[in-house]
Amino acid sequence: MTAVRRPLEELAARLEEITGSPVDADELLRAVTHRSYSYENDGAPHNERLEFLGDAVLGVVVTDHLYRSHPDLPEGDLAKLRSAVVSARALGAEAGRIELGDYFLLGRGEESTGGRRKNSILADGVEAVIGAVYLSGGMDAAAVLIHHLLDERMERSQRLGAALDWKTSLQELGAARGLGAPEYLIEDSGPDHAKTFVATAVLGGEPVGTGEGRTKKAAEMLAAEAAWNALSESASTEQD
């Protein structure tokens, strides 16, 4: 079984097409190498350092955009809006724009459990790729990639006024729809030192969104975001 389903050169070409700048091959290889693969392959360089760098670059670009787009919004609301735009769920969802999951190097365990489609791995991979693009082409290239991935989400969040607090937004939407307050069902898995939590947001007795996180709070927030988006999209479809 091949660890990378598609040639990394395809991703490099796609990124160059988007940004107009070539990406260093070694940096890109590191960006798609998950630590699970590193553990099984003599400590091969993995993407966590690039993820750290990409997270910082992502924060600067998104913060700059929101600051300029909302001249009257107070700092607290800007911070909440930024958190929603760069959440793990948001990044994982947008990873499909570059089909990132198809290029990962994963360990056997992650490969067998669907790691290529896990939101947490996709989100971390997006940040690592941003880091690789930044190192290769500078802030301008990284900014072009970030806007390519997130502009639609930023525009939608700004237009709808969501994302300042997903749980509060969902509670308000549930009240407006006559569905009552949301409830959250929690399941956990894994050892005590590395648990994963899956939350399901329930409104009106029906599950409307799920989220996965390292803490209950994070999982509930992601579930609330998913539920808010699902309900909003269904309302938009009904209006059409």
Closest CA to 167 of 117, 213, 219: 219
Q: Residue 5 in 3-state DSSP?
A: coil
**Distance of alpha carbon 197 from alpha carbon 217, whole angstroms:** 9
Residues forming the annotated binding site for Mg(2+)?
51, 124, 127
From 55, 212, 220, 225, active-site residue: 55
Q: Provide φ and ψ at 26, rounded to 5°.
A: -65, -40
Q: Is residue 1 exposed (0-12), middle (13-18) or buried (19+ Cβ within 10 Å)?
A: exposed
Is residue 127 annotated as part of the catalytic site, yes or no?
yes
From 111, 127, 220, 225, active-site residue: 127
Is residue 110 annotated as part of the catalytic site, yes or no?
no
Closest CA to 11 of 94, 103, 106: 103
Q: Other CB atoms closer than 10 Å to residue 83's CB: what's the count? A: 17
Residues forming the annotated binding site?
51, 124, 127
Q: Is residue 86 exposed (0-12), middle (13-18) or buried (19+ Cβ within 10 Å)?
A: buried
CA angle 13, 18, 21 (to 5 degrees): 70
- Residues with catalytic annotation? 55, 127
